[in-house]
Chains A and B, each alone.
Chain A
Amino acid sequence: MGTWDVTTPVIEAKDLDLTFRTNDGPIHALSGVNLDIEKGDFVSFIGPSGCGKTTFLRVIAGLEHATGGAVSVNGMTPDEARKNRAYGYVFQAAGLYPWRTIAGNIRLPLEIMDIPKSEHAERIARVLELVDLTGFEKSFPWQLSGGMQQRASIARALAFDADILLMDEPFGALDEIVRDHLNEQLLELWARTEKTIAFVTHSIPEAVYLSTRIVVMSPRPGRITDVIESPLPRERPLDIRDTPEFLAVAHRVREGLREGHSYD
Chain B
Amino acid sequence: MPNEGTGFLPRILTIAKNAFREAVRDRILYNLIVFVLLITVSAIFLGELTAGQESRVIINLGMSAVLLFGAFIAIFVGVSLVWKEIEKKTVYSIFSKPVGRGEFIIGKYLGLCTTLFVNVVIMCLGVTLALAYVGGASKTASIWGAGFLIFLELTILTAVAILFSSFSTPALSALLTFFVFLIGHFSSSLLDLAKTIGSSSAIAVFTGIYYALPNLSNFSFILNAAHGDVPTVSFAGFATLYAIGFNAVLLAITVLIFSKRNFK
Do these two chains really belong together in a complex? no
